[in-house]
Chain A
């Protein structure tokens, strides 16, 4: 742990800032508890994902540029979101100056990825037991883009950085769903293709319910927000938590 002097820039996705601030606070607390000096640059804006994913390159370029302006001075950039990190890592290609992008990309980490790869699993210490069955939602960007776990499609040995990090929490029982399939959020897909999106989300919830799970956790609150909305509409008893909330013991917030 000799690199704790390095500066960590905390990126907080826009919707987390307003709807799920405790996930961001939990992220900050975990990083600090492991000895890192964390800064949250308040000038930060959206990473540009909604624009890039909808083919609006000009807007994408603008937000990518701002992201780089804000964060390139840090040694690490950590966010409680795999889709925003995935955007900056892989989708800035062609919209951000290649040299800047090459310098930025290796510094980007989703929280669990940072804890696993940089802090090291053996050095992780979480003080809040969580004696519950937790269904892990494998978000696509975490699974197939950032490669935080092995997706079922690939014939490679099983691994999951998220599970390894989460397993350090005392008492937790991690439950895998039968399919590691997309929840159907997909950004604007959730409104443009709302019927398919809703069925996909309900199927994920039913999968976890079938395992006797009443708490779902993941590293992308956008997926969880979508499924939370469906569960609430249907009156399905299911709680949704960002992994950071469990790690930091901030699970009492609605």
Chain B
């Protein structure tokens, strides 16, 4: 089982870094607030997006078939992969058909989820992540800790060290401008050499048989510009009815993600370039199972990351503490739904504060999802002690006289117990805080005396 609490405690061993992480992401949350406030109909827009996603998911089969049909008419090949293994195999096969050994890939959480990179590398295919944050993480041999800001766990000094090792920059120069220029030089070379491009898909337009990729760096466009082969990878849930509805989502996406009015590049792909090949791989990998359950709404997610930025726990525990590809509230909810045993601690890595629900551009009831997943995850053996404790509490609370007697005893004993005994290692409350002391008289007593 992933132990979020332990991982979080480790992250907090460096309080200065933790505070920096919290502040950096809160800054993004505030930028989101400002951008959202600039749209008078913001809350209406969220409701429209919610309704549209619900409608599309309700008729997912229809829209996916429509997309396939229309895309094929445009000359796009459409392949279906049931799980990660099939997806990896399909992508590798296509690349091998083209003798591609160098691939540039723009951001796609799906390829992370399906562990595409290690598979392709094992087939001697070099994959270069071209999103700057992802490239930093890739060079560092690390994993993304946020879906929009993959390297948010690293400071510029960390990046300087990684670049010095791989790109031969000055290790003592953490100037972002300098480092970005170095990355750009390095990535330009990769773009020029690439045999094929892989991208994700933000929105697939069923009626047009086209798809949209949103980036801030133009790396998807640069990547697909030169090579003849473009493989676009999308989860089943990315389809929307048509281009008519797209504006609702593009207006919400960037504002929610980074506080921009729109992503710098919102690129539409509709047909292969002359003489080229454009393949869309539609991946299920457990999504259709979520469709059939109470977790359906989780498939509405447009991966903006706003729930991470606002989550007070995420900001203070870091993305890696979740042990998932997608961290934070949406990641916890997805992981808890998909594998409640392995990820049992994630629905509990939440105070149920509800902030995530209210920033979510498609109004997923994230904290309610995490709340209801607790019924399932609390059954793992690791929580036996916790359950026993709660059952004991329930026993006391259903026997008010016994409870009152115990509190009466506490009233006498607690102030007299030596501090070292009271704050023993089993006193989890007392690890960080002082305990409250029972008042001289309970309200029950006060009320009775008052009535007399």
Contact = CB atoms under 8 A, between A and B. Distances in A.
B357 interface: yes
Contacts of A195: 5, 8-9, 12, 432
Contacts of A233: 432-434
Contacts of B441: 21
Interface in A192-217: 192-201, 203
B400 interface: yes
A225 B434 CA distance: 9
Nearest to B39: A155
Interface stretch (A128-136, A163-171, A182-190): A182-190
Given A45-B397, A144-B358, A151-B355, A192 B9 contact: no
B390 A19 contact: no
A193 B433 contact: no
Most buried by A among B33, B375, B433, B438: B433
Contact of A53 (B374, B391, B429): B374
Interface in B399-452: 400, 407, 410, 428-429, 431-439, 441-448, 450
A194 B387 CA distance: 18
A55 B374 contact: yes
A14 to B, nearest CB: 7
Interface stretch (B161-169, B206-214, B345-353): B345-353
B1 to A, nearest CB: 13
B386 interface: yes
Interface in B303-330: 310, 312-313, 316-317
A225 B357 CA distance: 26
A153 B306 CA distance: 10
Interface in A10-56: 12, 14-22, 24-25, 28, 40, 42-43, 45-46, 50-51, 53-56
B316 to A, nearest CB: 5
Contacts of B26: 179
B397 A14 contact: yes
Contact of A19 (B5, B387, B436): B436
> For this complex, into which size category does the number of interface residues on chain A fall?
35 or more
A110 interface: no
Given A40-B447, A140-B354, A151-B358, A59 B394 contact: yes
Q: Which secondary structure dominates where chain A touches chain B?
A: helix
A54 B438 CA distance: 25
A14 B373 CA distance: 26
Contact of A189 (B9, B348, B435): B348
A220 B398 CA distance: 23
A57 B375 contact: yes
B278 interface: no
Interface string A211-249: 000000000000001101110110000000000000000
Contacts of B289: none
A203 B443 CA distance: 32
Interface in A38-83: 40, 42-43, 45-46, 50-51, 53-57, 59, 62-63, 66
A22 B443 CA distance: 7
Nearest to B351: A186
A191 interface: yes
B195 interface: no
Contacts of B313: 193, 196, 200
A193 B346 CA distance: 11
Given A19-B436, A199-B18, A229-B434, A140 B442 contact: no
A173 interface: no
Contacts of B49: none
B34 to A, nearest CB: 11
Nearest to B379: A55
B371 interface: yes
A192 B443 CA distance: 29
Contacts of B43: 154-156
B378 A54 contact: yes
Interface of A: 12, 14-22, 24-25, 28, 40, 42-43, 45-46, 50-51, 53-57, 59, 62-63, 66, 91, 140, 144-145, 151-156, 179, 181-182, 184-201, 203, 225-226, 228-230, 232-233, 253
7 closest residue pairs by CB, A with B: A229-B433, A186-B351, A55-B374, A182-B353, A153-B358, A198-B432, A191-B428
13 contacts: A21-B442, A22-B439, A45-B400, A54-B374, A56-B387, A151-B355, A155-B43, A182-B312, A184-B351, A193-B5, A195-B9, A226-B433, A230-B432
Given A51-B390, A63-B394, A193-B5, 8 more contacts: A16-B443, A19-B437, A42-B447, A145-B354, A155-B37, A182-B355, A193-B348, A194-B431
